[in-house]
Amino acid sequence: MGRWFARVPGAAVAAPPTRHLASKRPRRWNGPQTRQRSQQRMPRPEFDRDASPEAVAEALDEHGYAIVRELADAETVSRLNADFDPHVDAVQLGRTDFAGHRTKRINNLIAKSAACRELAVHPTIMGVCDRVLLPHCARYHLHVTLLVDLQPGETAQELHRDGGIYPVRLPSIPMTLATMWACNDFTAGNGGTRLVPGSHRWAHDRQPTADEAVNAEMPAGSVLLYTSNLIHGSGANRSNGNRRGMGLHYNLGWLRQEENQYLSIPPDKAKDIPHEVLKLIGYDFGGPYLGFVETGHPLTLADPALPRDMDRTGGAAITARSRAIKPLYLGDTPDDGLD
């Protein structure tokens, strides 16, 4: 996958965030003392596990990212790791600079882990998706699932914006919302995700300087969230152990998903997966008419017991939500009086 930024000297500088979270001021995690000096000065949009989706969505809008600490309990993290260990053991190291030559990656995580299926529909995450993505689509999907296991000696990944996968000028409306779950502690030393606070408002071509990036540091079970507009990448792993993160990204239902999950989990392999999760991976409409099968709803292929209503619209709720979306200009904005 090719994601990169063209270097344009003197590109516009975006206004820095102006507001701090007053009512939900995040409390710091007193974690490793390896934080760089520039990080110690950053006001951090960090929350405890009882954070409201509203507060997290507000922090995403302001800072471009947010961390909810220990949203997954230790038992869930332990099941996740037990599910993924054999796959990580079996997979080869990456073959490209972007994937990382000292990184092990696995995908199709919904098929591999019941614990992953639970976290994919975690109410806090769904609540944030509702606030960040649903204003722009009738339904959002799971865009891609990826386990990123940085081995000792891995160097930092190229900084990028996930929105670069689409031919769209950035920043744009949020096209994706990434969640990166810490399967073990994320530190500045082991490759905790590097991110550039405030870069979700930067002009398309603006490049960060090295000291503008900070590492996400969070204990296992925590989740980092950011949208398609935020510049980020894996950090360098200078520790003696691995750094394992589970990425579950969501996207607008009218955009093509990065991972072809309904081919990875075809109907004959879908029967043990809850309907809610199947719909999220794409056994659903992405908007009226978007994604129908001959018998109507795509879920009828995974569960033949469902009624075949032959309805290709996705139903009244999808249609109503679709009508509520403000249409986007995809070309130059015409001077036609519409706002």
Ligand X SMILES: O=C(O)CCC(=O)C(=O)O
User: Residues binding ligand X: what is the number (CB under 6 A)?
Assistant: 7
Choice between 165 and 270, CB closer to ligand X: 165
Handedness of CA 55, 56, 58, 59 (dihedral sign): positive
Q: Least distance from C-beta 293 to ligand X, angstroms?
A: 31
Distance separating alpha carbons of residues 286 and 254, to the nearest angstrom: 5
In DSSP terms, 178 is beta-bridged to 226, 249
User: Judged by CB under 6 A, which stretch of 76-84, 202-210, 227-235, 314-322 contacts ligand X?
Assistant: 227-235
Question: What CA–CA distances, in Å, run from 100 to 95, 157, 217?
Answer: 7, 7, 20
233 binds ligand X (CB under 6 A): yes
Q: Least distance from C-beta 251 to ligand X, angstroms?
A: 14
Choice between 55 and 218, CB closer to ligand X: 218
**Helices 123-132 and 53-63, packing angle to 10 deg:** 50
Question: What CA–CA distances, in Å, run from 196 to 160, 207, 212, 266?
Answer: 10, 10, 6, 38
Q: Binding ligand X by CB under 6 A: which of 53, 245, 291, 298?
A: 245
User: Judged by CB under 6 A, which stretch of 28-36, 203-211, 226-234, 279-287 contacts ligand X?
Assistant: 226-234
234 binds ligand X (CB under 6 A): yes
Q: Where are the alpha helices (DSSP H) in 166-325?
A: 261-264, 275-281, 299-302, 316-323
232 binds ligand X (CB under 6 A): yes
Choice between 191 and 198, CB closer to ligand X: 191
Choice between 174 and 291, CB closer to ligand X: 174
Q: Least distance from C-beta 18 to ligand X, angstroms?
A: 27
Structural contact between residues 63 and 197, judged by C-beta atoms closer than 8 angstroms: yes
Q: Least distance from C-beta 4 to ligand X, angstroms?
A: 12
Query: What's the one-letter identity of residue 3?
Result: R
Distance separating alpha carbons of residues 307 and 294, to the nearest angstrom: 13
Q: Least distance from C-beta 13 to ligand X, angstroms?
A: 24
Asked if residue 171 has a cis previous peptide bond (ω within 30° of 0), the answer is yes
107 binds ligand X (CB under 6 A): no
Q: How is the beta sheet containing 214-215 ordered, strand by strand?
A: 214-215, 194-195, 232-233
Choice between 69 and 232, CB closer to ligand X: 232
Question: What CA–CA distances, in Å, run from 108 to 25, 125, 160, 239, 274?
Answer: 36, 19, 22, 28, 16
Q: Binding ligand X by CB under 6 A: which of 179, 193, 215, 237?
A: 193
Q: Least distance from C-beta 232 to ligand X, angstroms?
A: 6
Choice between 222 and 300, CB closer to ligand X: 222
Q: Binding ligand X by CB under 6 A: which of 148, 218, 225, 230?
A: 148
Choice between 148 and 318, CB closer to ligand X: 148
Choice between 171 and 233, CB closer to ligand X: 233
Q: Binding ligand X by CB under 6 A: which of 180, 214, 273, 277?
A: 180
Radius of gyration, alpha carbons of the chain: 20
Query: What's the one-letter identity of residue 129?
Result: C
143 binds ligand X (CB under 6 A): no
Binding residues for ligand X, rule: CB under 6 A, are 148, 180, 193, 232-234, 245
